[in-house]
Structure 1
Amino acid sequence: MIRWELGRVEEVLEEREEIQRLKVRLVESGETGTAVHYPPLLGRVEAGDEVWLNATAVRLSLGTGGNHFVGWVNRPPRSTPVRGHIMKLRYTPWQIALRTGEEQGSPHHEILRDCRSLEGAPVLIGELHSMLPVAVSTWRYLADREGAEPRIVYVMTDGGALPIALSRHVQTLTELGWLNGTVTAGHAFGGTLEAVNLYSGLLLAVHALKADLVFVSMGPGIVGTETAYGFTGVEQGQAINAVHSLGGVPVAIPRLQKADRRLRHRGLSHHTRTVLASVALAPAVVPHPEDQDLSELRRTAKAKHHWIPFRLSLEQVAERMSAYPLAVRTMGRTLEEDPLFFTTVAGAAETAWRLWRDLSDGLAPAESIARLASGNG
């Protein structure tokens, strides 16, 4: 189940409060590699420390970025302050006590106690973490162009990576001031606020962090098995249901790709087909490039989604992403290599933006959606 290998820390490559990135040498083989360490779990490590590395994913050539993960340090661990009493990573040796936004003693407890509505807030829901920087870059571009100052909050689920510190995109977007806060829901941890589940995480984003625009997705990493429902991205449909039940407007990003070598993901991904046809039981706004034929999905979907065609050129997408300093890749592909994917995300983000602007001007969600569907948004 787990491949443990003993290593020695040769160098601390990156040092932050929540994460250390290390250069390590494996004792048995002598090979060098990189490792990720989370100081809140075992305390900080230094060059020369011997560490036990979970090498399982690297040995299986899985998508961890080629990193080992520190599971133990060959010295007494250093305790860190205990805050709150909600446990995440429950019933594992690394369970941690965190103060969630909902719990008694939190400054947001009173707000959340009787709060049950997102009050019409638009929530953009993605499947892949790589959609986050594209969406936020698009929002910041539109904000600068229109002279607006929306508060943008990312709600990270526990469908992928659990520590939000692993995401360089979250780090960069936060440092740029483009993200005004983060919420880590379920067993995900390390956000500006912690949440017990997605429902309360959404409420915290809107009512505690005062979000105008919310983006929801898992952290880095996604699991798939080539079966109809055996992928962690089914949570996108569950998020649609959650946003709808809380009185928000769910905007679902369809996963559209042209360059994927896997036929099941080429064009409209089978993940999106499953999510929108049967997992999402509530209607979502589904923006899509106008030249993409989604008629089959429209016929088979159980919910009466709102299909919003848009037109966005590759040059316009590149312009929206031009101020973002990191390279953005999805499944290893860039904007130039898979323009359909990036165009779909940027167009969906712009649709959510138009919804927010309409709602801010006093339009009801149904009126705004009708405007967008007619091409007058």
Structure 2
Amino acid sequence: MIIWRQGTVLRVVEEETKVQWLEVRGEEGKEETAVHYPFLFGRCKPGDRVWLNTTAVRLGLGTGGVHFVAGLVDRPPKPEPVQGHMMKLRYTPWQVALATGEEPGSRHSNILKERRSLEGAPVLIGELHSMLPVVVTTWRGLASSDKLPRIVYVMTDGGALPAPFSRHIQTLKGIGWLTGTVTCGHAFGGDLEAVNLYSGLLLARHALKADLIFVSMGPGIVGTGTPFGFSGVEQGQAVNGVHSLQGLPVVIPRIQSVDPRRRHLGLSHHTVTNLASVALAPAVVPFPQPLPEEILGEIKTLRERCGVRHHWLDVPITVGEVEDRLLDYPKKIRSMGRGIQEDPLFYRTISASAIVAFQLWKLIDSGWTAADATAHLMSLGV
């Protein structure tokens, strides 16, 4: 079911190439926020009457709880010219032809014909989009000024489909910390488009020349409280994909010290399911230290359940260290409505995992094999 309403554009609040944030007045007279993607219908301007998909707001959702422009009432759309031949949002009224990196005619298609391996590159795999700025800020903080890594974000279609919806992507690219983005599957709007995660990873590595790759869905996640009924199962699937492409998967566990849902308090059941049941290949799994005894017990139980021999790695890290690094990020970072002060363990876990991926990259870049680099970090800690 879709809840449709008409609205009138009052003002353009934010104007970017690929997205407009609008203030609109709905049928009830209330002023609300709406998001518009100009490549669908052309640019909106004040006074335009628009059709709004108001479903997310009516359902009281958090991420995605804004209206979306779904059409113009009084004038025909003026979309951007067709860019390619591969359809995303297929068989919907908004299906769009985009130029993917794989298709014939792309300057990257020959790369994908020849390069079938990530060549041992570490790939950091998160579950939530809000992990992105913590990861990139940590990597920038660890880098020396004479060797800044090329960081590429590979966005899957497990959450929001349009990359322009993410203000974090916009910020990170604006300050030059993010080299590029690849949008996979039905996700769209990245610097490069990919048909699926596998070719998306190869494009990140070989077309965008990534040193460090971070993979996660866009903003938003679907969850139902059942063991496998959440879109974040793709984290475990990404482990399999990275491994099959001869890369080194590094998983960010989801650990929270604050959450009203018991299934996410401590070690999230999402992480347990991904590592024990979805991932069929070994991954490096960092944990921040120190941890409460209860969470250490949960990790012990998880390790006993896993049929795959993951590489469990302890990383000493304090909340102060993470806070200091995050000061460099120009905007406030919040996840599930909480910042680092409300849930320091969540942010420590992300940063610890980013540190491990960075150290693996440095070792592999200097000539170590992925296996030797992993064994070395496990013997020393980070």
Aligned partner of 1:62 in structure 2 is 61
Give the whole-Å Cα distance in 1 for the aligned partners of 2:157 and 2:207: 21
What is the TM-score when the length of structure 1 is the normalising length? 0.98
Aligned partner of 1:244 in structure 2 is 243
Spell out the pairing of 1:327-342 with structure 2 (5 A cutoff). 327-342=332-347
Report if the CA contact (8 A) 2:42-2:80 is conserved. yes
Aligned partner of 1:373 in structure 2 is 378
The partner residue of 2:329 within 318, 321, 324 is 324
Report if the CA contact (8 A) 2:289-2:317 is conserved. no
Spell out the pairing of 1:222-301 with structure 2 (5 A cutoff). 222-292=221-291, 293=296, 294-301=299-306
Q: Give the gaps of 5 or more residues in structure 2.
A: none
Shift of 1:147: 4.0
Shift of 1:375: 2.1
Aligned partner of 1:7 in structure 2 is 7
Post-superposition CA distance 1:18-52 (Å, at most 9, x none): 1000001012x111101000001111111000011
Letter of the 1:305 partner, please give it. Answer: H
Report if the CA contact (8 A) 2:56-2:64 is conserved. no
Spell out the pairing of 1:102-141 with structure 2 (5 A cutoff). 102-141=102-141
Give the whole-Å Cα distance in 2 for the aligned partners of 1:111 and 1:18: 27
Shift of 1:376: 4.9
Report if the CA contact (8 A) 1:34-1:66 is conserved. no
What is the TM-score when the length of structure 2 is the normalising length? 0.97
Tell me, what secondary structure is at the counterpart of 2:368?
coil
Give the whole-Å Cα distance in 1 for the aligned partners of 2:364 and 2:189: 31
Give percent identity, aligned residues only.
62
Runs of 4+ in 1 over 4 A off after TM superposition: none
- Residues 1:179 and 2:206 aligned together: no
Report if the CA contact (8 A) 1:88-1:97 is conserved. yes
Tell me, what secondary structure is at the counterpart of 1:129?
coil
Tell me, what secondary structure is at the counterpart of 2:143?
helix
Letter of the 1:307 partner, please give it. Answer: W
Tell me, what secondary structure is at the counterpart of 1:124?
strand
Give the whole-Å Cα distance in 1 for the aligned partners of 2:265 and 2:93: 41
Letter of the 1:59 partner, please give it. Answer: R
Spell out the pairing of 1:75-114 with structure 2 (5 A cutoff). 75-114=75-114
Give the whole-Å Cα distance in 2 for the aligned partners of 1:301 and 1:39: 46
Report if the CA contact (8 A) 2:313-2:381 is conserved. no
Shift of 1:15: 0.8
Structure 1 residues 114 and 52: alpha-carbon distance in aligned structure 2, compared to 1, 3 A threshold: same
Shift of 1:290: 2.9
The partner residue of 1:302 within 301, 304, 307 is 307
Post-superposition CA distance 1:66-89 (Å, at most 9, x none): 310111111211131111100000
Post-superposition CA distance 1:85-136 (Å, at most 9, x none): 0000001111111110011000011110132100000000000000000000
Post-superposition CA distance 1:155-191 (Å, at most 9, x none): 0000000010000000000011100010000000011
Give the whole-Å Cα distance in 2 for the aligned partners of 1:55 and 1:49: 17
Aligned length: 375
Post-superposition CA distance 1:287-329 (Å, at most 9, x none): 0013341111111012110001011011100111111011111
Letter of the 2:171 partner, please give it. Answer: T
Report if the CA contact (8 A) 2:38-2:79 is conserved. no
